[in-house]
Chains A and B, each alone.
Chain A
Amino acid sequence: MIARSSTLSAPWLLAGPGALFFFGLVLLPLALTVILSFHAYDHSTGIQNTFTLSHYVTVVTDSYYLEIFWRTLRIAALTTLICAAIGVPEAYILSRMRDPWRSVFLLVIIGPLLVSVVVRTFGWSMLLGSQGLVNQALQLVGFAPARILYTETAIVIALVHVMLPFMVIPVWTALQKLDPMVEAAAWTLGASHFTALRRVVMPQVTLGMLSGSLIVFGLSASAFAVPALLGGRRLKMAATLVYDEYLHELNWPLGAAIAIIVLVANLCIMLAYNRMVEARARRTLG
């Protein structure tokens, strides 16, 4: 009896302090923010103690906000596509290399993940500026200098750079599970390289690519530093919009409503991802 009660209480004794801490600093602030998003707001007197749905209505009907959400989705989708187009072949190339090159290049590709986003974005702002290396190269081959900085193109380029590791990692992991002899067997049995790639390698890669895409899409849609530094004042995305509502407009309830929309969208994406992985696991296990 004593032994039973101790095995029931032991895990809670171990995890309890952490659980309380996380409860108080994750769930509670989120709940407060949800409540905040329903508070009325007055530009002269601030947050009111009456409740309203008007912020959500504003966000989904006002063309100003709709345009920003539409831009956010468009940029995130484009970033995801380009990341897949670059990351999947790159992971495949990496997986066919021999050590030590394989580990060295894997580190080069995913290492930048650990370098601050501000630093990487600043690097792109130098490369893409009107006097930047990219424009100098364009002029060298005879093109007119292009205005890249403060356009959606600049945001997408930098986002692809920041997100690429998140695409390479899952595809790489999926490829590690593929026995290279299976691909060789396909060739021996008369399949062309293209057929072997399509029928043997691609099915393995697809799951990694899907999970990478969801991560990249979710992170791009809520990215802050890249649009804030490369988009300028005019080109806002969801995250920079929330920042402006909070710290410039001081309309916290409206900012909270947008943040909650971003959170719910993100959770839906992650839930869909878990469903997909579970369904896939059930199928492979039979």
Chain B
Amino acid sequence: MQKNGPVALIFHSLVLTFVLAPLVIICLVAFTPENTLSLPTTGLSLRWFKAVFAHPDFMASFWNSIWLATLSATLAVAFAVPAALAISRYTFPGRDFLNALFLSPLIIPHLVLGVAFLRMFALLGATGSFAWLVATHIIVVTPYMLRLVLAALSGLDRSAEQAARTLGAGEWTAFRRITAPMILPGITGGWLLAFINSFDELTMSIFVTSPATVTLPVRMYMYATESIDPMMAAVSALMIAITAAAMLVLDRVFGLDRILVGQR
């Protein structure tokens, strides 16, 4: 393999700087002791992190987002796994349509999904309820889950399952004892990816949240449009930390490059 020349390496470091600069600056400013958005020059301080934890709105939104992401990722498993089994193991009329329907939230802009949900909920009189918010997030995260479960199923050696069936196991037992454990990495990876996508979602949620169900990204967006102080940097730094932790787990469980590269 040919090595990269000096020009290539300089280009590479510039790209890395570009990619990391906004994240690094957030993490630095978050530790400022000053009242303004400035780099910590007089010393490091945790006062803005303390301010975040003492801020009732941010904390309420944080827990709201955690619950929302947990519920929608978990419920998406219940839709995605049976759907993946149907799509990968049977040929039936309407199969391509089903596949397209389940993956459609990937190509519909979230903005359009947001206004569409808003219209339907307004007609139903359901605007602003947490249950409906969970339903909208299930729609958004199920495609990610479905792709990973489909990938896990397609790489599966089915002989163990057939042996179990031959030995008298029913379909459900064979699935529970043989197939499910074998596709578990795919489901786990899909769950984490679904969790992160739900936790970060802004554009659609901004249309379907009510003051009582504001998610963390929506809260941050509203905060950033009104006032800019280092608290915003502290919340952002915390979000980067949470995402990085999830990424590490994801990398261990499934190989992050495989998940992200296989995603689109």
Residues of chain A whose beta carbon lies under 8 Å from any beta carbon of chain B: 7-8, 10-12, 14-15, 17-19, 21-23, 25-30, 32-33, 36, 86, 89-90, 93-94, 96-98, 103, 105-120, 122-127, 129, 131, 133, 161, 164-166, 169-170, 172-173, 180, 183-184, 215, 218-219, 222, 224-225, 228-229, 239, 242-243, 246-247, 252, 255-256, 259-260, 262-263, 266-267, 270
A-B contact pairs, 23 of them (CB 8 A): A11-B90, A15-B98, A21-B139, A22-B102, A25-B117, A25-B139, A27-B101, A29-B119, A30-B108, A115-B243, A116-B199, A127-B21, A133-B21, A161-B19, A164-B19, A166-B264, A222-B112, A224-B110, A224-B202, A243-B111, A246-B118, A260-B112, A267-B107
Binds A, one of B8-16, B50-58, B153-161, B180-188: B8-16
Contact with A along B1-33 (1 / 0, CB 8 A): 111100011011001101111110110010000
Chain B residues with a Cβ closer than 8 Å to the other chain, count? 86
Contact A126-B202, Cβ < 8 Å, known A14-B83, A118-B220, A120-B22 = no
CA distance A106 to B251 in the complex (A): 12
Q: Is B87 an interface residue (CB 8 A)?
A: yes
A170's partner among B4, B224, B264 (CB-CB below 8 A) is: B264
Looking at chain B's contact residues, is the secondary structure mostly helix, strand, loop, or mixed?
A: helix
CA distance A63 to B257 in the complex (A): 45
CA distance A190 to B232 in the complex (A): 57
B202 touching A127 by the CB < 8 A rule?
no
A115's partner among B9, B94, B135, B239 (CB-CB below 8 A) is: B239
Give chain B nearest CB distance to A53 CB in angstroms. 19
Q: B120 — which chain A residues lie within 8 A by C-beta?
A: 25, 28-29, 32
Q: A173 — which chain B residues lie within 8 A by C-beta?
A: 261
Contact A222-B82, Cβ < 8 Å, known A115-B200, A228-B221 = no
